[in-house]
Amino acid sequence: MLDLISIRRHLHQIPEIGLQEFETQKYLLEIIRELSQNKSFFHVKTWQTGILVFLKGSAPTKTVGWRTDIDGLPIEEHTGLSFASKNGCMHACGHDIHMTVALGLLEQLSSKQPRENLLFLFQPAEENEAGGKLMYDAQAFGEWTPDEFYGLHVRPDLNVGDIATNAQTLFAGTCEVELTFWGTGGHAAFPHEANDALVAASYFITQVQTIVSRNIDPLASAVVTFGKLEAGTTNNVIAESAFLHGTIRSLTQEVNQITQRRLRELAEGIAKSFNLKLDLHLKQGGYLPVQNNPKLAQQAMRFFEEQPEVNLIDIAPAMTGEDFGYLLNKIPGVMFWLGIDSPAALHSQKMKPNEAAIPFAVKEIGEFLEQKVGNIKK
């Protein structure tokens, strides 16, 4: 049997940025090839740094997919763990847990040939380049394209033993925003000879807040946050340019598109009113809302409700983003939250999952997948 804790700790030490997961892919392939020995129904192929593992069913009528993400974040780890990352990146979103659970599930589900086809996707670039969209659009799945897709994401504020999901939207759709106002710099004592980009940016930051309060249905949900503003060089020089970096989040794609449109209109209007030039980039890509298929979600929730060791939570949507939303926009499926009981949040330098979540997830989600692919009846 695989030593899942050792595997997780090794993966934790080698986090890599999306589409650069070369060492991660190599390590995963070593384990996958070990699991594939003497199994004619076991097939493997790669796509860039991603891996697809296909278990051919004995009498298939469908293909069931399980997806895990494999990339890390450009964050320096401050957990103090003996197996902490030392390469300047970190699995601060728990993808080391995701990969380890997927390997455990693969070991369990490949112990004998399933009746239905089963695809395991080890997907790169969830954090930065929407690797799920890249793979789908490149037709990387081919004949292995699932009819149903499932996946999980760790959640620090839930306990080990908690599985949380719903029959609606689980995660928000997100859109990255980058914009620069370009004016004319000058001396602080002669403002009439310059064109202040910093002042324009300040007006924009204030006005953009009205999108949520005045353009979005109060019963809908949206967030517009700008976390970065760069302008100016010193106290007595009028800023020639102002750069802003932010994010849009919403629970429906319709609201996301409305928010994007209004943000563009406001930015263009402010640039015109201040006689500035504007560079604006809106990048949503594959980060669509994670919308669970109601029928499949209800089936999954009924299954977990009957598991004595699972505390199933019918949970409200969260404004976190996930590129699994793109795949669920193309293929019906369900995403779960998995409790890991960490005192620090996702993307924190101190995020420290409870490793007891790994064997729990492999056992409980393994039984769920087994009944999906026909290994057992439930």
Task: Return the active site residues.
Answer: 69, 127
- Torsion angle of the four alpha carbons 137, 138, 139, 140, in this order, in degrees rounded to the nearest 10: -120
Q: Cα–Cα distances in Å, from 286 out to 137, 290, 297? A: 10, 10, 22
Other C-beta atoms lying within 10 Å of the C-beta of residue 295? 11
The residue among 358, 353, 372, 371 whose CA lies nearest residue 104 is: 358
- Least Cα distance to 324 among 106, 127, 47, 118 occurs for 127
Q: How far apart are CA 212 and CA 197, in angstroms?
A: 24
Distance CA 73, CA 295 (A): 34
Nearest to 141 by CA among 218, 212, 52: 52
**CA pair distance 43, 305, nearest whole angstrom:** 33
Q: Do 2 and 31 touch, CB atoms closer than 8 A?
A: yes
CA distances from 190 to 1, 62, 135, 193, 235 (A): 74, 72, 54, 6, 14
Distance of CA 375 to the CA centre of its chain: 30
Q: Is the separation of the CB atoms in 336 and 318 below 8 Å?
A: no
From the number of C-beta atoms within 10 Å of its C-beta (0-12, 13-18, 19+), residue 183 rates as: buried
Q: What does the alpha-carbon distance between residue 259 and residue 224 come to, in Å, rounded to a whole number?
A: 8
Strand partners for 177: 246, 282
* Rounded Cα distance, 344 and 320, in Å: 16
C-beta separation of 276 from 263 below 8 A: no
Pairing of strands 148-155, 333-339: parallel
